[in-house]
Each structure stands twice: as C-alpha cells, then as structure tokens.
C-alpha cells in the first residue's frame, strides 16, 4: 500500500459559499475529503495538494494571489515530507506541472483522487493519470460540481456529477465513496 498517494484537486476558497464560484454540497464534499486526508496522514502516506490559479487577473475565480485561490482551511497542507503542493494553471493537473515527475520520484502507482470540479479538473486529472499508467480511485462523494447549462438546458449538479462519475467508472477509474474506501483500508 505504500505505492499510493492522495491527490486533492482544487479544494480552494472560491468553491465554498463565500467564494466567487460556490459548488453544490461543497461542505459535505470537504468533510469527506478531510476524512480521507486524515487517513493518509495517520498512515504517513504521500499527499499532493493541487492548487489552481488562472494566469490572469481577469479570471472568474482563482485569481492569482487572491484569498479565493487559497487552499481551503479544511485541507491546509502540513509542513511534512509526505505532503506536496503543486500549482497548476490548466484544467489538467499533469499539464505544465511536475505532478507526474513528483509521483514517479516516490514510486507511486496508485492514486486516490478527491476535489473539484467533477466535470472539469477531476475528470481531466483522472483521465490523464490513467493514461500515464496509474491505477486511479475516485471517491465520488469527496468531489463536487455545480449546475451546468448547455444549449438552453440547465443540468443540475447531481446529474452532471453522476454523468462524469459514470464515464470515469466505465474505463478510467474505480469510482466509490469515502466510507466504503476507508472501510476497505481497515
């Protein structure tokens, strides 16, 4: 089990109720992710905090250096050799970052992915990780999104989330929930 790492994607202030881009059920998502984070810390397993900032001040959220772009207090990285923080400027956490190299240096083969948004950065990171040869588990109830609109139709967040989790579960990852995963860990 030592070849596993937790990837926490974009659990940042702008996704919470006081932020610029609040997600549906983000507090429960963060609570679930915090339980998984606590497990990884208790086991001294590697953790990677992914932190998104757009490259421009005109961004709708995650403006560089802003309070909204800070990692949420529930996920605050610890000063520890087993915790890394990687800044990204793209949807895909592997694109233009050292994420893959960092994981390779540690001999990581399996990833547990939590965070936001289900239909964007979770989807992109999971697909990229799988394509790079990692075994991936997505803890679906530790991921969140918001309603989406397409062609005049509003798609509720729960349906957006379900559709993306179904797609990832079909070919890219094991998709489960935090309670089931934590129970499996003993």
pLDDT for 80: 84
Sorting pLDDT into bands at 50, 70 and 90, what band is 1? very low
Is residue 137 predicted with pLDDT exceeding 80?
A: yes
| Cβ contact 147:117 at 8 Å | no
Long-range (24+ apart) CB contacts under 8 A made by 40-45 are 40/6, 40/112, 41/78, 41/82, 43/1, 44/82, 45/1, 45/2, 45/4, 45/5, 45/6, 45/82
- What number is the average pLDDT over the span 62-85? 94
pLDDT for 2: 60
Report how far residue 37's alpha carbon sits from residue 106's, in angstroms, rounded to the nearest whole number.
Answer: 18
Helices 157-171 and 123-131 pack at an angle, to 10 degrees, of 0
- What number is the average pLDDT over the span 139-150? 97
pLDDT for 179: 97
Alpha-carbon distance values, 166 to 77, 142, 172, 175 (Å): 30, 15, 10, 8
20 is catalytic: no
- What number is the average pLDDT over the span 117-122? 98
**1 beta partners:** none
The tokens describing 129, both together, are 């990780």
143 is catalytic: no
Longest dimension (CA), the chain: 48
Share of the chain above pLDDT 90, in %: 95
Report how far residue 152's alpha carbon sits from residue 88's, in angstroms, rounded to the nearest whole number.
Answer: 31
DSSP assignment of 103-136: HHHTT--EEEEEEE-IIIIIHHHHHHHHHTT-EE
Is residue 16 predicted with pLDDT exceeding 70?
A: yes
Is residue 131 predicted with pLDDT exceeding 80?
A: yes
Sorting pLDDT into bands at 50, 70 and 90, what band is 81? confident
Share of the chain above pLDDT 70, in %: 99
- What number is the average pLDDT over the span 128-156? 97
pTM above 0.85, yes or no: yes
Catalytic-labelled residue, pool 14, 31, 121, 123: 121
Catalytic-labelled residue, pool 10, 14, 123, 141: 10
Catalytic-labelled residue, pool 88, 123, 141, 143: 88
121 is catalytic: yes
Fold held by 4-184: Rossmann fold (3.40.50)
Helix, strand or coil, per DSSP, at residue 169: helix
């Amino acid at each position: 089990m030592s070849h596993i790492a937790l990837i926490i994607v974009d659990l940042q202030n702008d996704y919470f109720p006081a932020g610029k881009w609040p997600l549906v059920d983000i507090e429960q998502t963060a609570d679930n992710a915090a339980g998984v984070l606590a497990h990884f810390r208790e086991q001294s397993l590697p953790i990677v905090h992914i932190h998104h900032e757009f490259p421009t001040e005109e961004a709708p959220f995650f403006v560089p250096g802003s309070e909204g772009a800070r990692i949420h207090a529930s996920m605050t990285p610890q000063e520890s050799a087993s915790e890394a923080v990687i800044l990204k400027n793209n949807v895909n956490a592997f694109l233009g970052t050292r994420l893959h190299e960092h994981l390779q240096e540690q001999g990581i083969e399996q990833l547990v992915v939590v965070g936001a948004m289900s239909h964007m950065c979770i989807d992109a990171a999971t697909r990229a990780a799988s394509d790079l040869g990692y075994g991936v588990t997505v803890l679906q109830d530790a991921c969140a999104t918001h309603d989406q609109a397409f062609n005049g139709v509003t798609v509720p967040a729960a349906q957006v989330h379900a559709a993306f989790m179904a797609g990832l579960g079909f070919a890219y990852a094991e998709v489960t929930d935090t309670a089931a995963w934590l129970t499996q860990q003993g």
